[in-house]
Each structure stands twice: as C-alpha cells, then as structure tokens.
Structure 1
Amino acid sequence: MRFNFSFRKTQPAAVVNHEGAVAYQLTPALELYAAVATAALSDQYYEKADTRLQRLRELVARNDPRFVAQLAVYAREKLYLRTVPLVLAVELAQIHRGDNLVSRLVARIVQRADEITELLAFYALANQRQGTKQLNRLSKQLQKGLALAFNRFDGYQLAKYDRAGQVRLRDALFLVHPAAKSPEQQHLFDQLVRGELPTPYTWETELSALGQASYATAAERPAAFRQKWEELIGSGKLGYMALLRNLRNILEAEVSAGAMAQVVTALTDATAVARSKQLPFRYLAAYRELLTVKSGHVGVLLAALETAIGHSIANLRGFGPETRVVVACDVSGSMQQPVSQRSKVLLYDVGLVLGMLLQSRCAHVVTGMFGDRWKRVALPQGQVLRNVQELYRREGEVGYSTNGHLVVQDLIRHNERVDKVMIFTDCQLWDSTGNDASLAAVWRQYRRTVAPQARLYLFDLAGHGTAPVQVHEADGVALIAGWSDKVFDVLQALENGGTALTEIQRIEL
C-alpha cells in the first residue's frame, strides 16, 4: 500500500466513546491488540487513518517490546494482515535496543518480496526522510532482518514483486546488502540490479499477453481466453485467492464442464482453504459477485463457497446442544463503512459473516440484529453466506442507531436464561432513546437477576480503544477483535480459561 499520513500529537480525552456515551478504557495491551486486529490504515467512520496510525505508535511505546513483537507475528501469521505488522516492526525499532528482537521479527513477518519495499517506504515516512538516498542510515536491526528476508526469495518471487513504487527492490538490495547464499543467488541479485529478471509465469502475465494479441476473427478472442483459463485451472498454478477473485471471469469465459468441476474441487478442499489464509469476508465478496452472473454453473459455485467458508471453523468447540447462545449483529450507521479504500465489503458485512459462522456451529442459538431496535431473525444453519445476504436485505428493518443494550434487555424482559451473548459491533454503543440505558447496566442486572453464570463476548470490529462494558473476567465480559476466522481461536482460549491475549503470548520468537 502507499503510506500517506501525517503525524501529530493527541491529547488525552475523557473515557467516553465517539458517540459521547460512557465507555471503559482498555488496557494498553488489549487496546493495541484491538487496534492492530482491525487496522486497514484507511479512513473509518469515527477515526482517520493518520489518527489510527498515531495511536498505534503511542501504544507500541506503552507496551512490552516482546508483546509488540508477538502481536506483529500474530497479525501476520494468524490474522493474515500484511501492512500493520510492518508498522509495528518499524515503530519497535525506534524504541528498542540491546538485542536482536527486531531483526528476528522483521525476518519472520516479511513473507513476500514486496513487503521489503513496503517496510522501507514506511520507515522513510516514520523518520521523515524523502527518497532512497535518505534511507542510507537505516536501523541496523531492520537492515539485518531485511537481509535475512532477501535470502529466502527465489527468482520467481523477486521478479513477481519487482514493481514501481516509492522504493524498488533494486534500491532495497543496495540499502540492505544481503550476502548471497550461493553463486546462483548472486546471479539473481545481479539480474535484479540490471533489470534482467525473466518475466514470471503468472495468471496475470498470461492473460495480459492474450489481451494484447491480435485476432483474425471476433470468435478467436473468447476461444483463446477460454482455452487459457482451462489451462490455468488444470495446471494448478492458479492460486486459491486468484481462483476466488476470478470466478466471474471463469464463468464468462464459458470453460468446459470438466474445468468447472476442477474449480469446485479446488474451492472446497479443506487443506487448500486453510493454506490460502483467506479472510472470511472474501468468500462473501465472491458470493455476491456470482449473484450478478447469468450462468448455469452459478448454483454449484455458490454451494462450493458455502462449503469452503464452513471449513474455517469446523473444529470450534464449546457450543454443544445444551449451550444457549445469542448472536447479535450491529447494523448501525457507523458499521456501513468499507473495511478499506478499495473494498466493497463493509464492517457491517464482516460482523454478519463472523456472526453467521458462529451461528452455523451452535446447536441452540438465537440470531438477530440491532440498530434502533433489536430484532430476532430465524435463519437456517449451514448457509452462512445466504444468511448474510438475508440479514443484509433486512437491515433497514431495525434502524441505524446503536442500542446494543436492547439485546440483553429483551432477555431480562422474557426472563430468558442463556449461557453466552455474542455481540459483533464497533463497540460505539449508545442509547438513542434518551433514557441513558447502557449495556453495562443491563448486563449487571441480567447477571444478578436471571443468569449469574452468563458470559458476554464483544467482538470488536473497529478497535477504537474503548468498550461499552468493563472487560473483566469477574463480570463475565471478554473482548475479541479482528476480521479473521482466527477470532474463534481466541474464543476457544477464553473457553479454556485464558484471555484474548493468550493466543498472542503463546507465540515463540
């Protein structure tokens, strides 16, 4: 991504949320975790990109360096985030000295060749340096870590990610000075310097070549693209993400029934799903794209996407037939915000997908959405993406405020005992009725009068640093943050007596 932020000082504020309602400040570690797990580093409804970035910088300084490094690894390897781990590494290098923690961290989180140049671009911004010449005073630990990362990439990876940008891979090579492991690798480095790396075989380069070719007749072009898609599908060189993003193109190319069967097999392979590290909302984006295509194969692909997303939490435990669960999705106005500048997926969608994933694994569950009102919606299990579409279609039925307390008030009114209340939200709850009701107050009442052992799980999808209820084990309240299916690993840790930070603190460096 391109970094385009300014840095400024922030002043401490009263503990209220962005709507002015009373809120509870998270601990520095929990706040950093929530901010990182939800960081797209683009403008959000309540927080500008540079504000979030400045808050990340301040939180890094307030936390233990080892925890910051563990969180960076967790974000890269478990949450599948690319940019924010690099930000954490650069910020950690600013304040931590005396060991090789930073170099080991950089070598671990830089997993694609273009992340070398992205890290250097942010380093230049964070240190207010312009141009690659100003990067020659690079932190020694960052330099050492990047050199180790350079050694892992082969010619294909270097060529694939040798792109124009603020910093080129060639510039990075001169800055980092990695020692080649072999004569063959030195030859690759020399080719990179001269701009002579062979063009890699990728689906993008193959299709681009077809697009630039000349055709004798109008019929030859679609035939060539159909043949190329069938070749790519059969070769196994079309990665899972590429397959997911190109389902519409494959359908429009009218590939053979045999090729389509291969697509379905690839999409539904549980091992491939796990290896692909797709965020759950990517399946929703593909699902919605298919709904606009006229093809007889759409139905089987929609079913394949349902199977694929279902693999992501197949092993979730703790939700047996006797466990009573409420899954509540925030559909307020602030949730109608894209997760990033280039995405059509909203925070609202992320909450619905995660909520419906959880619903699909519960034997005894009440599902609903809240805005001005709380509304229960009966939905079939095993149809995660279809259920998301149904809730999306009906979101206007409850209005656009954020009266999350109504979820628990409804339980009190009906004297309904449940074990777990799961709320998927940006945590900016407030009472639009003017009665000054709060989730904190009604939760205390519910535990006191109806269900003393009930637990409340706040799934924070925005990471603004506060919660509507004090996050404390004694009150049965926990906070989980992020957009990945790995939030359910955190849920599992909580079920086993841990905390939201347990999974992070287990990471070995």
Structure 2
Amino acid sequence: MRFNLPFRKARPDTVNHAGAAAFTLSPALELYAAVATTALADQFYETADTRLTRLRELVARCEPRFVAQLAVYARERMHLRSVPLVLAVELTRRHCGDSLVSRLVARIVQRPDEITELLAFYTQANQRTGRKTLNRLSKQVQKGLAQSFNRFDGYQLAKYDRAGAVRLRDALFLVHPAAKNAEQQALFNHLVAGTLPTPYTWETELSALGQVTYATPAERTAAFRQKWTELIGSGKLGYMALLRNLRNILEADVSAETMVEVCAALADRFAVARSKQLPFRFLAAYREVKALHGGHVSAVLAALEDAISHSAANLRGFGPDTRVVIACDVSGSMQQPVSPRSKVLLYDVGLVLGMLLQSRCQHVVAGMFGNTWKRLSLPRGPVLRNVDEFYRREGEVGYSTNGYLVIEDLKRRREVVDKVLVFTDCQLWNSAPFGTSIAKEWADYRRTVAPQARLYLFDLAGHGTAPLDVRAEDGVALIAGWSDKVFDVLAALENGGSALTEIESIDF
C-alpha cells in the first residue's frame, strides 16, 4: 500500500444523511460496512426495513463468492447470526449452477434455531407466506440445511425448538435429512412427535422456580439464591448467561464462596476466549453491576476489567514509536442503541473499541468530538473505567459532528502523528459558518505537516458513505464493525492489504 503519492483532489459525489458532502463506497465495501454494523434494527438515520432493502440491492451488485465469504466472515469471525442468513437467502435468489449456496448454508447455520430463522426469512424474501413458498424450497438450501440437521444432538434440538412461523418439526419435513444412524433417526422421530425431553438449562430452571408461589419475599429470595448457587456450581451456566445475569446473582445475595467462583469464571482468560463476546457486552455488564451497592460489587467490576483485558490480549496494536490519535464521535446520532433491547449505544461501542486500542498503544492521544474537540489524558490500563470517564464528560464537547476539528488541531499544533483513528457513524458535517471539512483538513495536514500519516475511519453505522475519499493514495481507509475483529482488518491494512483482505482470505 502506497500512502505517499502526490495529493489528488477528489470531489464528493453524494451527500450523507446530515446533508453534508460525502463520498460513495464501492459495492463490496458498502456491503461489508452494512453487514458488519447491522442488528437489523432501526437506527438513527435508517429503519431496519431500509437497511434490509439496501443489503439485498448490494448483494445483487457484488460477486457471489465475495458475498459467501462475507457471510462466513460475519458468522465465524464477527459472531453475527441473522445477517449471514439474509446474505445466504439473497444469494439463493441471485446465484445457481453450483454448490456455493449449499456449502454456505451448511457452514453458517450453527444452531438449530438458525434453521427456522433462515426458512422464515426465505418466505419473507420470496414475498409469500407459509408452506406455499417452503414447498418450493431451493434444492441448494435444502441440501445445506440437511447437513446442518445432522450436526445437532437431542439437547440442542430440544433447547432451540421454539414457537414461531416455522418450527423445527416443519423444517425436518421440508428438508428430509437422512439420519446418520438409528440413534439419530430415533431423535428425529421424537422431534416429530414432540416428545424430546425438556433440556436442563438455566432458563428452564429459573422459569420453573418463577412459577412457584412463595409465602414471603424472603422465601422467594432464598429459593433463587439456592438455584443460582446450584447453577454456578454445576458449570452449566454459560459465559454469556453469567455475564448477563450478574445483577440477578448479586441481588440473590449468594454466598461469598459462590461469588469467588463467579469472579474466577468471569476473569478466566480461556473462558473469555471461548465465549466470543463482543467487547461492548462487558461494558453493559459493568454498568449493570456498578449501579449496585453490595459488598461484592468491587470484586465483580475488577473481574470484568480483567475479562475485557483478556479479550484484547491478542489485539495487534502499534509499537512504542508509533504516534496515534484516537478520536471518538459523541454526536447526537451516535446516541443510538445497537438494538431495540440494548442499553448500549453506538457511542459506547466507539469508546470501547477506542479504549481497547489505547490499551495496546504506547504513544497515544485520545479524545472526543462534537461541537468541539477535547483531548482526555487517561491511564492505559482500565478499559471500562476509561469508557465511563468519557461517558461522564461527553456533554463537555456538545453534540454536533465536527470531526474536522481533530485534524485542524493537529495542523494548528504542527503535530506529526502516524495514525489517526476516528470512531464514528461517518455522518460528519460542519456546524460552523465556514466551509471547511475533514476531507480538506486532512489533505492540508498531509501536504503541510505529516505526508506519511494515515487516517482510519471506524464506521459504526454502515450508512454507505464516507466523509473522505477512501483511497490508499490519500492515506484513508475505512473499517467497519462492533467486534474486536476490526483490529484484524487494521492489521491487514498496515500490511499492505485492503479492508476486504480478511474477508477475501476466507477459505470457501
């Protein structure tokens, strides 16, 4: 990748959602950004239906193999569930003649409920309802789902056999998987008959406890305390379930010995690696626990800091001589939840990713921008505590999107840096009465102060435009997503690849 070519003035060719001049992305880059940042839920500038329509249009404009690789990347590296299924169904509508779709379906369907979710979206995508569409199910989808069925055991099928437009029983009749042996055939027969045994899960155990009538609140608390103690001691409470139920466990007032087990499980580096949690999940848990006042709260907060530090253990940062600026967008459009049921905002995701990267860099300036740009000097160690400090102070800079101020400040100081990393929804505009922009300021900065500098836009919303021309020769690249895997893309860019290198390296 060459970043030191002569400056070439590029002209914006569109406007963003804020009405500011912007640059369009290539179809492949736009699809990657849209996929990496979607929960298929309404966002500040875009409804879920609008995003889904755009995904479908972009699939039609991209090479089928790239779409398949992106679906695998989203499922296996970014741990997304719904959007890879959307890509697979859309590919079914656009591509035929080989086994690409069946291999894709077999690879991305990793839980039994993803079989029924894929079939439900298949009916929606084909604009029909129920059996009429499913009776004409694509042979390639059928073949891929049959392979998926053969991977699941009785516990998995029972756990994910949920009510919905399509049940697992319906899917079995549609797909007709050939049982591997007599034991699996018996399992399929139980699924058809509805006689699969109820699985032992924390959900079923607590649900059963919740149906009991208790004489006093104290009796109820004691029953839940005993159940949480049993679940934690059994080792059958998964990492995500533990993370999401920390408040419930603390409020049940379990014993000190049990809380020692909880903290050890949270901070276990191998458990963190296996759990594949998105970084912002640790922040959500941290905030839930921080609101409590029990004696074990400080220990749990420390365990969560250890956990997120383990999640960043293999993150490739920059060496001690690399001068880095991390700028976090705290504008109004970033105050948007990542999904309808989440308390985590896009703004939070940007802060978590920014502080994770800061924890891996030696020479770093971090700050936030809105109406103004403010640098904040924070210690490198505590990622979650630093995020909360940013959150506490975000009102100090206002809620506009004046990202150009980050670069203008560097230019004014004549400060030479190597990397500028901006965590944003890319919908930047200038609220000041004069006509500068981040594109103009960046071009001037590279020409007059730091010709070798590189600017990385971390797109957290995937709206399809960028505030600068994303060109290697201009020192600009775009990376998208909410996962720590964005830093693998950063490493690929640093090693001469493109934002799509990680995707195109998928063996498929």
Assess same fold via TM > 0.5.
Answer: yes
Q: Which residue of 2 aligns with 1:10?
A: none
SS at match of 1:23: strand
Q: Distance in 1 between matches of 2:137 and 2:52?
A: 21
Deviation at 1:446, TM superposition (A): 0.6
User: Structure 2: which amino acid aligns with 1:308?
Assistant: A
Q: Distance in 2 between matches of 1:477 and 1:422?
A: 10
Deviation at 1:223, TM superposition (A): 2.1
SS at match of 2:21: coil
- Give the conservation status (yes or no) of the 8 Å contact 1:22–1:468: yes
- Give the conservation status (yes or no) of the 8 Å contact 1:132–1:167: no
How do residues 221-232 of structure 1 correspond to structure 2 at under 5 angstroms? 221-232=220-231
After superposition, give the CA deviation of every residue in 1:74-114 in whole Å (9 maximum; x if it has no partner).
00011111000000000000011111010000001000100
Matched, 1:370 2:369: yes
After superposition, give the CA deviation of every residue in 1:16-69 in whole Å (9 maximum; x if it has no partner).
111121111111111110000001111111111111111111111111111100
- Give the conservation status (yes or no) of the 8 Å contact 1:332–1:370: yes
Deviation at 1:134, TM superposition (A): 3.2
Q: Distance in 1 between matches of 2:316 and 2:395?
A: 33
Q: Distance in 2 between matches of 1:216 and 1:261?
A: 31
Q: Which residue of 1 aligns with 2:503?
A: 504
Q: Which residue of 2 aligns with 1:339?
A: 338
SS at match of 1:327: strand
SS at match of 1:272: helix
User: Structure 1: which amino acid aligns with 2:209?
Assistant: L
Deviates more, 1:232-241 or 1:491-500: 491-500
For residues 218 and 444 of structure 1, do their structure 2 counterparts lie closer, same or farther at Cα, with a shift above 3 Å needed? closer
For residues 134 and 375 of structure 1, do their structure 2 counterparts lie closer, same or farther at Cα, with a shift above 3 Å needed? same
Identity over aligned residues, as a percent?
77
Structure 2 portions without partners, runs of 5+? 1-11
Deviation at 1:272, TM superposition (A): 1.1
After superposition, give the CA deviation of every residue in 1:329-372 in whole Å (9 maximum; x if it has no partner).
00001111111111111111111111111111111111100011
Q: Distance in 2 between matches of 1:46 and 1:317?
A: 32
Q: Which residue of 1 aligns with 2:303?
A: 304
Q: Which residue of 2 aligns with 1:421?
A: 420
Q: Distance in 2 between matches of 1:481 and 1:407?
A: 20
For residues 446 and 189 of structure 1, do their structure 2 counterparts lie closer, same or farther at Cα, with a shift above 3 Å needed? same
SS at match of 2:483: coil
Deviation at 1:212, TM superposition (A): 1.8
Q: Would you say how many aligned residue pairs link Structure 1 and Structure 2?
A: 497
Structure 1 portions without partners, runs of 5+? 1-12
- Give the conservation status (yes or no) of the 8 Å contact 2:329–2:422: yes
User: Structure 2: which amino acid aligns with 1:466?
Assistant: T
User: Structure 2: which amino acid aligns with 1:349?
Assistant: D
- Give the conservation status (yes or no) of the 8 Å contact 1:313–1:488: no
- Give the conservation status (yes or no) of the 8 Å contact 2:13–2:23: no
Q: Which residue of 2 aligns with 1:120?
A: 119
After superposition, give the CA deviation of every residue in 1:353-409 in whole Å (9 maximum; x if it has no partner).
111111111111111000111011111111111111111111111111100010000
Q: Distance in 2 between matches of 1:451 and 1:103?
A: 50
Q: Which residue of 1 aligns with 2:140?
A: 141
Q: Distance in 2 between matches of 1:16 and 1:215?
A: 61
Deviation at 1:216, TM superposition (A): 5.8
- Give the conservation status (yes or no) of the 8 Å contact 1:419–1:453: yes
User: Structure 2: which amino acid aligns with 1:265?
Assistant: A
After superposition, give the CA deviation of every residue in 1:221-267 in whole Å (9 maximum; x if it has no partner).
32222121111111111000000000011111111222111111111
Taking CA–CA contacts closer than 8 Å with sequence separation of 6 or more, which of the two structures ends up with the larger relative contact order?
Answer: 2
Q: Distance in 2 between matches of 1:434 and 1:139?
A: 56
For residues 483 and 218 of structure 1, do their structure 2 counterparts lie closer, same or farther at Cα, with a shift above 3 Å needed? closer
SS at match of 2:407: helix
Q: Which residue of 2 aligns with 1:248?
A: 247
Matched, 1:481 2:451: no
- Give the conservation status (yes or no) of the 8 Å contact 1:367–1:378: yes
Matched, 1:403 2:402: yes
Q: Which residue of 2 aligns with 1:357?
A: 356
Deviates more, 1:243-252 or 1:223-232: 223-232
Q: Which residue of 1 aligns with 2:171?
A: 172
Q: Which residue of 2 aligns with 1:101?
A: 100
Deviation at 1:190, TM superposition (A): 0.9
Q: Which residue of 1 aligns with 2:209?
A: 210
- Give the conservation status (yes or no) of the 8 Å contact 2:370–2:397: yes
User: Structure 2: which amino acid aligns with 1:402?
Assistant: T
Q: Distance in 1 between matches of 2:437 and 2:343?
A: 32
After superposition, give the CA deviation of every residue in 1:91-149 in whole Å (9 maximum; x if it has no partner).
00001111101000000100010000000010000001112343100011011101110
Q: Distance in 1 between matches of 2:216 and 2:407?
A: 66
- Give the conservation status (yes or no) of the 8 Å contact 1:132–1:171: no
Matched, 1:131 2:127: no
Q: Distance in 1 between matches of 2:13 and 2:377?
A: 40
Q: Distance in 2 between matches of 1:26 and 1:179?
A: 45
Q: Distance in 2 between matches of 1:275 and 1:471?
A: 35
After superposition, give the CA deviation of every residue in 1:393-443 in whole Å (9 maximum; x if it has no partner).
111111111000100000000000111000000001111102121111111
Q: Which residue of 1 aligns with 2:7?
A: none
Q: Distance in 2 between matches of 1:14 and 1:453?
A: 26
For residues 214 and 20 of structure 1, do their structure 2 counterparts lie closer, same or farther at Cα, with a shift above 3 Å needed? closer
Q: Distance in 2 between matches of 1:426 and 1:372?
A: 16
Q: CA RMSD in A?
A: 1.3
- Give the conservation status (yes or no) of the 8 Å contact 2:126–2:133: no
Deviation at 1:207, TM superposition (A): 1.2
User: Structure 1: which amino acid aligns with 2:122?
Assistant: Y
For residues 218 and 331 of structure 1, do their structure 2 counterparts lie closer, same or farther at Cα, with a shift above 3 Å needed? closer
- Give the conservation status (yes or no) of the 8 Å contact 2:13–2:21: no
For residues 57 and 217 of structure 1, do their structure 2 counterparts lie closer, same or farther at Cα, with a shift above 3 Å needed? closer
Q: Which residue of 1 aligns with 2:8?
A: none
Q: Distance in 1 between matches of 2:141 and 2:494?
A: 38
- Give the conservation status (yes or no) of the 8 Å contact 1:316–1:492: no
Q: Distance in 2 between matches of 1:318 and 1:114?
A: 37
Matched, 1:26 2:25: yes
Deviation at 1:318, TM superposition (A): 4.6
- Give the conservation status (yes or no) of the 8 Å contact 1:129–1:135: no
Q: Which residue of 2 aligns with 1:3?
A: none
- Give the conservation status (yes or no) of the 8 Å contact 1:114–1:162: yes
- Give the conservation status (yes or no) of the 8 Å contact 1:366–1:378: yes
SS at match of 1:230: helix
- Give the conservation status (yes or no) of the 8 Å contact 2:14–2:23: yes
After superposition, give the CA deviation of every residue in 1:456-508 in whole Å (9 maximum; x if it has no partner).
00000000111111111111111110000111111111121111111111111
Q: Distance in 2 between matches of 1:219 and 1:430?
A: 56
Q: Distance in 1 between matches of 2:194 and 2:28?
A: 44
User: Structure 2: which amino acid aligns with 1:270?
Assistant: R
